[in-house]
Amino acid sequence: MNNSLLWYTTRGAGAVSLVLLSAVVVLGILSVLRIQSTTWPRFLTAGLHRNLALMTLVFLTLHIVTAVVDPFTHLGWLAAVLPFSSYYRTFWLGLGTIAFELMLAIVLTSLVRGLIGQAAWRMVHWLTYAAWPFAVLHGIGTGSDAGSAWLFTLQALCVIAVVVAVGYRFLTGSHDPLADARSSFQDAVDRREPR
Amino acid sequence: MSAPQLLAGPDPSRGSERRSEHVARLGPLPKGGHALIELLVRTGLTGRGGAGFPVGLKWRAVAAASHGSAVVIANGAEGEPHSRKDRLLMASRPHLILDGAMLAAASVHAKQVVLCIGEEHHAALRSMSGALAERSEHERRMVRIVAAPPRYVAGESSATVHLVDAGIATPTTTPPSPRDRGVGGAATLVQNVETLAHVAIIARTGMATDTVLITVAGGVRTPGVLEVNVGTPLGDAVQLAGGASEPVRAVLVGGYFGQWVEPSSAWSLPLDTQALRARGLSLGCGVIGLVPASRCAVCEVAGIMRYLASESSAQCGPCFFGLRALADACTRIAERGTDPGDLQRLQRWSAEVHGRGACKHPDGVVMFLQSAMKTFGDDFAHHPPHLRRSA
């Protein structure tokens, strides 16, 4: 296997993961904000959010596997699972490990949302707000492309997109029409004895 | 039509049959148990609530998971808007249903039986509670009545379990299926009341019943409930309901989660679960709905879509938002005329919604819409703008 090909793949997949992850975060926020139109109802946003999240995990796996198997880096599998255990840029790479594990938790809990319940799923989903900054910092501090103009531009665009979306959510609040409809339906079919 | 089996005896319109009359007519209640389950497997009885699942196999599964503490829910919620057969049966033959429920309890080793009855089915509620008062003390202690809210999804099996358990009639995620983990975590048999009535006959005769209850609705002279032989041509059933009151545009076979059929092929359809399934159709809950040619098919479909979207319990985003978007697109076509973009969106969004709910509500609605767009393809493609909603 061509070692430089592995290294290029690691870097490329890392950059793609950052863009995808940022898009997933923005779509998630758009979904909460019920941004929609006649031709683009909200459930499509949610579907795209889900599919892109799964795709992010694919690119992240590629990013991690190619980095670990690259004989030149000598990272070892432990660095991929245990944060801050790598000899190479211990701190910055550790942030990436944490971000990956948080994302894994977010995706896995989403896949079994029906089993663990809405409340637990929601708690874990809030970890997005930790995973995304860790991923961004990891990209800023690690790798051959850190500080390069093209990666910096990409990172800046991702940060602006997410910050604008988060700021917008913060300003408009998170009124959830699904939750409203759910509670009014539940009231209509609630036959518990009044206590 | 040969002799009725469920509705044999006094005229059903005379109301609840007394226990003495019921026993004099049919004899005492035989014993439930393993042999009855095997008899039900052999007779091939299928559920009459809509899904048409083989009854014997379901009882076997619940008996296997029971550990002596299963629960039986006799489902008479009947939330399907045009269906009347369950409430008629409950109002006229309560002891047949109670017999079936007791046989089920004995066969799957259940300690509790819950009669889940739509709260607006007043005659059915009176009849069933009156009949329960006539039963033995042991039975009265085992059986209780729970009134179900009048909503479309309230009769879904996981929703009846949730109603009995928590008092809230919303569907829950399956798996686990109620038959593995239902009321209080116990294996639970949810069975439609008509199905249980069939069991009460089969247990006595040792032979399959060969009738089915249907509700003929819409453009017929005397809409209502009929007991017809399995395999009766649909057109004969319509004749028994007085015949079509005006020229027919299409027939909805099996209720809202059924399929639309052109009259040319509808009249010869045999009313038989297996035969309909072989044609890609379903008898569902037994509703046969006739839409007159004088009505606008697209407007009818749009009206039903709005109703079904409003019946989403809003627990899953794709169901709540997706069905609303589909209903809105249908309504736009009905009110403003055909728009190619909306037609495309109906197809694309149907695929996006299908399979994305915790229960099967969105899937059923999408299948209803797909069937409508196939049968009324021309109407959808060339619909003129209407000044106001007709549905």
- Does residue B281 share a domain with residue B169? no
Q: Dihedral of CA B197/B201/B202/B208: which sign?
A: negative
Question: Which range among A39-48, B101-110, B346-355 shows the weakest confidence by mean pLDDT?
Answer: A39-48
Predicted pLDDT at B391: 47
Distances (CA, A) of A179 to B306, B311, B314, B321: 20, 15, 8, 12
Which of A67, A133, A183 shows the shortest CA–CA distance to B313? Answer: A183
Q: Identify the contact set of chain B against chain A, taking CB-CB distances under 8 A.
A: 146-149, 151, 154, 163, 166-170, 173, 312-315, 317-318, 320-322, 324-325, 328, 341, 345, 349, 352-353, 356, 358
Q: Do B322 and A43 touch (CB under 8 A)?
A: yes
- Give mean pLDDT, residues A16-30: 93
Q: Is residue B231 one of the residues assigned to a domain?
A: yes
Q: Do B345 and A39 touch (CB under 8 A)?
A: yes
Q: What CATH code is carried by the domain that includes residue B278?
A: 3.10.20.600
- Give mean pLDDT, residues B89-108: 97
In this model, does residue B102 exceed pLDDT 90?
yes
Computed over every residue of chain A, the mean pLDDT equals: 86
Q: How far does B345 lie from chain A, in Å, by closest CA? A: 8
Computed over every residue of chain B, the mean pLDDT equals: 93
pLDDT band at A3 (very low <50, low <70, confident <90, very high): low
In this model, does residue A194 exceed pLDDT 80?
no
Of the two residues B141 and A148, the one the predictor is more confident about is B141
Q: Which tokens in the block code for residue A9? A: 């793949």
In this model, does residue B388 exceed pLDDT 80?
no
Q: Among B236, B259, B292, where does a domain finish? A: B292
Predicted pLDDT at A88: 76
Q: Is residue B388 one of the residues assigned to a domain?
A: no
Residue of B nearest to A32 (CA): B317
- Give mean pLDDT, residues A83-98: 84
- Does residue B89 share a domain with residue B217? no
Q: Do B314 and A185 touch (CB under 8 A)?
A: yes
Predicted pLDDT at A119: 83
Label the pairing between strands B188-192 and B70-76: parallel
pLDDT band at A75 (very low <50, low <70, confident <90, very high): confident
Q: Chain A contacts of B356, Cβ < 8 Å?
A: 43, 47
Q: Do B352 and A189 touch (CB under 8 A)?
A: no
Q: Which residues of B52-87 are buried (b: 16+ CB within 10 A; e: fewer)?
A: bebbbebbbbbbebbeeebbbbbbbbbbbbbbbbbb
- Does residue B331 share a domain with residue B306? yes
For residue range B283-331, list pLDDT tens digits in order.
999 999 999 999 999 999 999 999 999 999 998 888 999 999 999 999 9
- Does residue B218 share a domain with residue B110? no
- Does residue B303 share a domain with residue B283? no
Q: Chain A contacts of B341, Cβ < 8 Å?
A: 39
Predicted pLDDT at B1: 45
Q: Identify the contact set of chain A against chain B, taking CB-CB distances under 8 A.
A: 31, 36, 38-39, 41-44, 46-47, 114-115, 178, 181-182, 184-186, 188-193
Q: What CATH code is carried by the domain that includes residue B369?
A: 1.20.1440.230
Q: How far does A58 lie from chain B, in Å, by closest CA? A: 22
Q: Which amino acid is at B126?
A: R
- Give mean pLDDT, residues B255-262: 95
Q: Do B151 and A188 touch (CB under 8 A)?
A: yes
Domain encompassing residue B88: 12-205
Predicted pLDDT at A174: 62
In this model, does residue A73 exceed pLDDT 80?
no
Predicted pLDDT at A84: 83
- Give mean pLDDT, residues A80-85: 81
Predicted pLDDT at A146: 76
Percentage of chain B exceeding pLDDT 70 = 98
Q: Compute the CA torsion angle B106, B109, B112, B116 (nearest 10 deg).
A: -70
Residue of A nearest to B169 (CA): A189
Is residue B185 a contact partner of residue B102, using CB atoms and an 8 Å limit? Answer: no
Q: Is residue B390 one of the residues assigned to a domain?
A: no
- Give mean pLDDT, residues A47-75: 88
Q: How far does B147 lie from chain A, in Å, by closest CA? A: 8
Q: What is d(CA A133, CA A94) in angstroms, rounded to the nearest whole number?
A: 13
Of the two residues B31 and A195, the one the predictor is more confident about is B31
Q: Is residue B7 one of the residues assigned to a domain?
A: no
Q: Chain B contacts of A30, Cβ < 8 Å?
A: none
CA atoms within 13 A on the CB side of B232: 23
- Residue among A114, A115, A191 whose CB faces B169 most closely: A191
Q: Which amino acid is at A183?
A: S
In this model, does residue A173 exceed pLDDT 90?
no
In this model, does residue B352 exceed pLDDT 90?
no
For residue range B182-225, list pLDDT tens digits in order.
998 899 999 999 999 999 999 999 999 999 999 999 999 999 99
Q: How far does A109 lie from chain B, in Å, by closest CA? A: 15
- Does residue B199 share a domain with residue B54? yes
- Give mean pLDDT, residues B11-21: 94
Q: What is d(CA B200, CA B110) in angstroms, rounded to the nearest whole number?
A: 17
Which of B163, B155, B190 shows the shortest CA–CA distance to B70? Answer: B190
Q: Do B318 and A39 touch (CB under 8 A)?
A: no
- Residue among B170, B173, B324 whose CB faces A186 most closely: B170
Q: Do B168 and A39 touch (CB under 8 A)?
A: no
ipTM of the complex: 0.82
In this model, does residue B387 exceed pLDDT 70?
no
Q: Which tokens in the block code for residue A21? A: 């992850």
- Does residue B113 share a domain with residue B44? yes
Q: Chain A contacts of B321, Cβ < 8 Å?
A: 36, 41-43, 46, 178
DSSP string covering chain A, please? --HHHHHHHHHHHHHHHHHHHHHHHHHHHHHHTT---SSS-HHHHHHHHHHHHHHHHHHHHHHHHHHHH-TTT---HHHHHSTT--SSSHHHHHHHHHHHHHHHHHHHHHHTHHHH-HHHHHHHHTTHHHHHHHHHHHHHHSSTTTT-HHHHHHHHHHHHHHHHHHHHHHHH----HHHHHHHHHHHHTB-PPP-
Q: How many CB atoms lie within 10 A of CB A172?
A: 11
- Give mean pLDDT, residues A139-155: 85
Is residue B361 a contact partner of residue B313, using CB atoms and an 8 Å limit? Answer: yes
Q: Chain B contacts of A192, Cβ < 8 Å?
A: 166-168
- Give mean pLDDT, residues B265-279: 94
In this model, does residue A1 exceed pLDDT 70?
no
- Does residue B189 share a domain with residue B109? yes
